[in-house]
């Protein structure tokens, strides 16, 4: 099977490869690629990455689920993207501003924003992710109320902003002040927790491609978030998914927006460097 | 989604006799009536129960929808067009609400 689509050489050395189907993965994988995304299998650009090749979560889903993502009309996540687009120009808060007042056309100003999160915030002395950055703008610049993490408004805005970066390779800074957060995220990734005594790596590193009950394990990449999960019947945030994973192994989940999840988000973004932003994706 | 939004994807023009594909998507929770809330009470059913597509007033496609259909129902159908006109798409909610949208089609 061959990947169709134009050839692109990115500065990070992502390469197209013939889509061989390893024994781990099911045969008869859908041939087409997600809308606007050139590849779902790349050589990771992160130095010291445990894998030789990284796969987007799209790769592990059934052909029917994959197909849903290929068409921007059929992809239910776009119901939220549309709302995000409206909210972008909506004035809110005492300062009488909208996102557009400062950021103008999202297609320009947000072209790479979604690919570089989380990133360092000097004023706060810690990294922030997209949800937090949006709320910082709302409270600080717009003098408006922050949106709740899993509210339709914040989900709409994050999916709309991330969409502008679709196709951009994920790239995050993990050095300098980010290093302790990266290390913390890595530690969380590999630490067993919960009644089932499992770490993220036990599923997503040791057994990706294999079945757990009725589900096929992915590599736990985050390039598709926020994502429309068929299980949720709506779009949801990465931290919501983190919570779900922890609940699955009977561990007490960290809170959305917590330092732990932020560190984990940074580390998992590092594990996905080289993959293009795929948001808003469709997963099961 | 708080508000219910219909979306339609249909060609703006077609040749006489061409078979076109119309895709529709509407955001709706499609509460089946079988789920229970945290207190154990049944969450009442509220779904889109009917979809009608009319072309120049005439019904060309109609669906009775049951609770098995999941949230944000997607409906797609094909149609042979012989004349120019206007589509009307109507979704009926259990609570009596009607969501509708129109789209013109040039044929020639």
For chain A, domain boundaries = 41-74+170-283, 78-164
Task: Name the minimum distance, in Å, from the CA of A233 to any CA of chain B.
Answer: 6
CB within 8 Å of A169: residues ≥ 6 apart:
A10, A12, A14, A45, A115, A273, A274, A275, A276, A277
Contact assessment for residue B15 and residue B28, using Cβ atoms and an 8 Å cutoff? no
pTM here is: 0.84
Q: Tell if the CB–CB gap between B23 and A74 is shorter than 8 Å.
A: yes
Q: Tell if the CB–CB gap between A76 and B74 is shorter than 8 Å.
A: yes
**Is residue A11's pLDDT more than 90?**
no
Q: Tell if the CB–CB gap between B25 and A233 is shorter than 8 Å.
A: no
pLDDT in tens, A216-247: 999 999 999 999 999 999 999 999 999 999 99
Contact assessment for residue A178 and residue A283, using Cβ atoms and an 8 Å cutoff? no
Provide the CA B5 distance to its chain's centre, in angstroms: 10
Task: For A78-164, give the CATH class.
Answer: mainly alpha
Interatomic CA distance for residues B33 and A213, integer angstroms = 28
Residues A129, A133, A134, CA angle at the centre, nearest 5°?
A: 120
Provide the CA A63 distance to its chain's centre, in angstroms: 21
Would you say domain A41-74+170-283 falls under CATH 1.10.760.10?
Answer: yes
Q: What would the mean pLDDT of B72-88 be, rounded to a whole number?
A: 94
Give A30 or A81, the one with higher predicted confidence. A81
| β-sheet with A281-283: strand ranges across | A234-236, A227-229, A281-283
CA distances from A183 to A137, A142, A190, A283, B19 (A): 28, 34, 11, 28, 58
> A175, exposed or middle or buried, with CB in 10 Å at 0-12, 13-18, 19+?
exposed
Among candidates A133, A130, A148, which has minimal Cα distance to A265?
A130
**Is residue B60's pLDDT more than 60?**
yes
**Is residue A102's pLDDT more than 50?**
yes
Phi, psi of A208 (to 5 degrees): -60, 145
Query: What sign has the CA pseudo-torsion A278, A282, B4, B8?
Result: positive
Predicted confidence at residue B10, as pLDDT, reads: 92
Mutate to test the interface with A, among B1, B22, B70 (most CBs of A within 10 A): B1
CA distances from A227 to A171, A224, A239, A274 (A): 19, 6, 11, 19
Interface of A with B in 42-81 (CB under 8 A): 73-74, 76, 79-80
The continuous run of DSSP H or E covering A45 comes out as: none
Kindly report the average pLDDT of chain A as a whole number.
87
Is residue A245 part of the annotated active site? The answer reads yes
Predicted confidence at residue B44, as pLDDT, reads: 96
Using pLDDT thresholds of 50, 70 and 90, give the confidence band for residue A4: very low
**Is residue A78's pLDDT more than 90?**
yes
- CATH fold match for the domains A41-74+170-283 and A78-164: yes
What percentage of residues in chain A have a pLDDT greater than 90? 77
pLDDT in tens, A141-150: 999 999 999 9
Q: Tell if the CB–CB gap between A73 and B23 is shorter than 8 Å.
A: yes
Cα torsion for A280, A283, B4, B9, to the nearest 10°?
A: 70
Report the SS3 class of residue A281.
Answer: strand
* Predicted ipTM > 0.95: no
Predicted confidence at residue A39, as pLDDT, reads: 58
Q: Write down the domain spans for chain B.
A: 6-11+19-107
Among candidates A151, A137, A270, which has minimal Cα distance to B2?
A151
Using pLDDT thresholds of 50, 70 and 90, give the confidence band for residue A1: very low
**Is residue A34's pLDDT more than 60?**
no
**Is residue A26's pLDDT more than 70?**
no
Contact assessment for residue B103 and residue B10, using Cβ atoms and an 8 Å cutoff? yes
Interatomic CA distance for residues A241 and B22, integer angstroms = 34
Interatomic CA distance for residues A85 and A280, integer angstroms = 14
Q: In chain B, which residues have their Cβ closer than 8 Å to the Cβ of A79? A: 1, 5, 7, 25, 27, 72
pLDDT in tens, A128-177: 999 999 999 999 999 999 999 999 999 999 999 999 999 999 999 999 99
Predicted confidence at residue A24, as pLDDT, reads: 38
Kindly report the average pLDDT of chain B as a whole number.
93
**Is residue A43's pLDDT more than 90?**
no
Q: What would the mean pLDDT of B77-106 be, rounded to a whole number?
A: 95
Two tokens at B24? 């529709």
Task: Tell which phi-psi region holds residue A167, choosing left (phi > 0), alpha (psi between -120 and 50) or beta.
Answer: left
**Is residue A201's pLDDT more than 60?**
yes
At the second CATH level, the architecture of B6-11+19-107 is Sandwich (2.60)
Q: Which of A22-26, A246-250, B1-5, B20-24 has the lowest mean pLDDT?
A: A22-26
pLDDT in tens, B10-58: 999 999 999 999 999 999 999 999 999 999 999 999 999 999 999 999 9
Predicted confidence at residue A40, as pLDDT, reads: 75
Residues A129, A135, A141, CA angle at the centre, nearest 5°?
A: 120
Q: In chain A, which residues have their Cβ closer than 8 Å to the Cβ of B67? A: none
Contact assessment for residue A73 and residue B7, using Cβ atoms and an 8 Å cutoff? yes
Interatomic CA distance for residues A128 and B63, integer angstroms = 47
**Is residue A35's pLDDT more than 60?**
no
Interatomic CA distance for residues A221 and A33, integer angstroms = 17
Provide the CA B1 distance to its chain's centre, in angstroms: 16
């Amino acid at each position: 099977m061959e990947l169709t689509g134009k050839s692109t050489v990115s500065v990070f050395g992502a390469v197209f490869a013939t889509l061989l189907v390893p024994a781990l993965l099911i045969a008869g994988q859908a041939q087409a690629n997600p809308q606007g995304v050139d590849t779902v299998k790349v050589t990771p650009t992160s130095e010291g990455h445990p894998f030789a090749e990284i796969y987007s979560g799209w790769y592990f889903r059934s052909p029917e689920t994959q197909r849903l993502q290929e068409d921007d009309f059929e992809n239910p996540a776009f119901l939220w993207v549309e709302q995000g687009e409206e909210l972008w120009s909506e004035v809110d808060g005492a300062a009488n501003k909208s996102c557009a007042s400062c950021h103008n056309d999202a297609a320009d100003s947000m072209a790479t924003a979604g690919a570089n999160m989380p990133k360092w915030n000097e004023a706060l002395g810690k990294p922030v992710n997209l949800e937090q950055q949006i709320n910082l703008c709302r409270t600080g610049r717009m003098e408006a109320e922050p949106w709740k993490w899993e509210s339709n408004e914040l989900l709409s805005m994050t999916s709309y902003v991330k969409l502008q970066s679709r196709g951009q390779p994920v790239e995050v800074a993990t050095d300098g002040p980010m290093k302790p957060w990266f290390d913390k995220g890595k530690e969380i990734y590999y630490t067993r927790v919960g009644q089932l005594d499992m770490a993220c790596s036990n599923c997503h590193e040791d057994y990706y491609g294999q079945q757990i009950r009725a589900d096929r394990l992915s590599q736990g990449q985050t390039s598709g978030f926020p994502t429309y999960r068929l299980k949720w019947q709506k779009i949801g945030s990465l931290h919501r998914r983190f919570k779900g994973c922890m609940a699955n192994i009977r561990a007490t989940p960290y809170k959305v927006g917590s330092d732990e999840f932020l560190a984990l988000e940074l580390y998992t973004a590092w594990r996905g460097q080289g993959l293009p932003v795929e948001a808003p994706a469709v997963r099961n | 989604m708080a508000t219910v939004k219909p979306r339609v994807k249909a060609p703006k023009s077609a040749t006489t006799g061409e078979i076109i594909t119309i895709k529709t998507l509407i955001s709706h929770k499609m509460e089946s009536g079988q789920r229970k809330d945290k207190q154990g009470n049944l969450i009442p059913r509220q779904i889109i129960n009917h979809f009608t597509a009319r072309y120049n007033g005439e019904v060309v496609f109609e669906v009775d929808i049951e609770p098995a259909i999941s949230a944000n129902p997607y409906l797609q159908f094909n149609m042979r067009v012989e004349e120019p006109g206007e589509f009307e798409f109507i979704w009926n909610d259990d609570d009596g609400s009607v969501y509708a949208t129109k789209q013109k089609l040039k044929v020639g």
